[in-house]
Amino acid sequence: MESSIKTTSYDAFFLKIVAIIGMAMQHTALVLGDVIPVALHFPLQLAGGLTFPIMAYLLVEGYRHTSNVKRYMWRLFIWGLISQVPHTLAFGHIFLMGIPVMNIMFTLFLGLLGLVMYDRIKKRWLFVVLFVLICLVSFIFDWGIIGPVMVFLCYKISSDKMRRIIPPIMAGAYNFIAIGIIGIFVAIIAVVLGNNPVFAEAIADAMYSAGVEDIRLGTLFASLMFPIGSFFVAPLLLRYNGERGRSMKYMFYAFYPIHLAVLGLVALALGFVDISVIMPWN
């Protein structure tokens, strides 16, 4: 007798919507954190953890099915350029080595570049060297070093089931450890150095780089929900049916800079950011 229980499956369109919503929720927490109740940071951060593992997996799906990989790469790169100004406006407080963090479109571009190199470079030692360089460059990109690694694993793991499970779990573990280290660092520095303003600024920069928007204890704990959100991607991907679903055309690409511009302008109006981050000549 066949079971009457129907298993729900998700297409790529549904997963993209989940990624977009999660991205917008977490970005709202990061950009407007000071005016958002601490309790709301928990679900906002949790939702944010869903985004990049889904994007990395679907990037690989796109690479497998695209008829023109060069056009795919150019699309990511151009939208990365379009998105960088609103990204810098929204997250102008986040710098690594004096450079504004580059947006997620560039991270996806690097991940795709890594896949192209893997398939076209016959000398594996040369690919390894170049891929390591890509990972080092991605240090100043959104999601950092783990970004290209996740994309590569989504492509290289032979088991379809495991490539839906391992990268999201790895992403969650990586960010959980990273945020935990930042939290321990902050606690130690706070005890040893007290309220020294110079060190307080350095602490804030380090926390921003880890995705922790301020040093309130509540939001520090809320930031731990971000990697937990990545763990929930695995069950979502396990129900992915391999179908494209409704075409989004350029909806996802356009939504990214538009929502960042809106958040950035709101933050600017509230005095959270300085326009000089994108207009240094003023």
Residue 246 pLDDT more than 90?
no
Q: Residue 83 has what pLDDT?
A: 95
In sequence order, the 6+-apart residues with CB closer than 8 A to the CB of 280 are none
Count CB neighbours of 85 within 10 A: 17
Both structure tokens of 48: 């944010």
38 — pLDDT class (breaks 50, 70, 90): confident
Residue entry with tokens 């995705």 = 211
The mean-pLDDT minimum among 21-30, 115-124, 211-220 falls in: 211-220
pLDDT in tens, 56-90: 999 999 999 999 999 999 999 999 999 999 998 88
Residue 278 pLDDT more than 80?
no
Both structure tokens of 41: 């940071």
What is the overall mean pLDDT for the chain? 84
Distance CA 25, CA 276 (A): 26
Count CB neighbours of 105 within 10 A: 25
Q: Residue 55 has what pLDDT?
A: 96
DSSP per position, 121-154: ---HHHHHHHHHHHHHHGGGBTTTTHHHHHHHHH
Q: Residue 144 has what pLDDT?
A: 87
Distance CA 226, CA 4 (A): 36
pLDDT in tens, 196-214: 555 555 555 555 554 444 4
Q: Residue 211 has what pLDDT?
A: 47
140 — pLDDT class (breaks 50, 70, 90): confident
